[in-house]
Amino acid sequence: MNCKVLKLTKNLRLTTSNDSFQIGQTRLFANWLLDIGEGNVGGQNTGEAIIEIPEDLLIKDSIDPISDLIEFVYPSILDNFKRQNFFHERAILAPKSDVVQEINERLLSLFPGDEKEYLSLDSICPTEMINENLDESLCSPDILNGIKASGLPNHRTI
């Protein structure tokens, strides 16, 4: 059996603008992120490092930094959330699950309407099998849990 290794070598975000200044800024930011990921920023790579964050990425003198972050990343969210690529173009990364949970709860609280919770399972209860000749391959977690197969958690509140 042969395996061909493919590498992503072109940053497509650098081709989305005709403005050379914007492309240069995006390239600098992308390289900075790569350097962080490769341990080239913040001194000797011992698993912990102090990294200087550029001034334009900081939220300063804020009473509610999470709300300010949400407004910065998702400007006018209630006016724009129905736009097809609105969420594809932006994301908030957080270092810990509890911070992610807080940001998600704050974001969801912005939307009008009642909250709906969708649950899913990764397996079938054997006592609920109607057909004894059930093909087990049809019961894999990827089939049963379509949300999880798409990369999202298997428990989602909307």
Query: What's the pLDDT tens digit per position in 13-60?
Result: 666 667 888 888 888 888 888 888 788 887 777 777 888 888 887 888
Q: Burial-class residue 147 by CB neighbours within 10 Å (0-12, 13-18, 19+).
A: middle
Residues 107 and 67 in one domain: yes
Q: Angle at Cα 112 formed by Cα 87 and Cα 79, nearest 5°?
A: 45
Query: Tens digits of per-residue pLDDT, 51-74?
Result: 888 888 788 888 998 999 999 899
Query: What is the secondary structure of 45-108 as a DSSP string?
Result: -SS----PPPGGG---S-S-HHHHHHHHHSTTHHHHTTSTTTTTT-----SSHHHHHHHHHHHH
Residues 118 and 107 in one domain: no
What is the number of structural domains in the chain?
Answer: 3
**pLDDT of 130:** 60
Residues 125 and 95 in one domain: no
Q: What is the pTM of this model?
A: 0.52
Residue 129 lies in a domain: yes
Expressed as residue numbers, the domain containing 78 is: 59-113
Q: Which residue has the higher pLDDT, 136 or 113?
A: 113
Residues 107 and 138 in one domain: no
Residue 1 lies in a domain: no
Residue 31 lies in a domain: yes
Residues 107 and 132 in one domain: no
**Average pLDDT score, the chain:** 76
**pLDDT of 82:** 85
Residues 136 and 91 in one domain: no
- Pick from 91-95, 99-103, 109-113, 135-139 the range whose average pLDDT is largest: 99-103
Residue 85 lies in a domain: yes
Residues 69 and 106 in one domain: yes
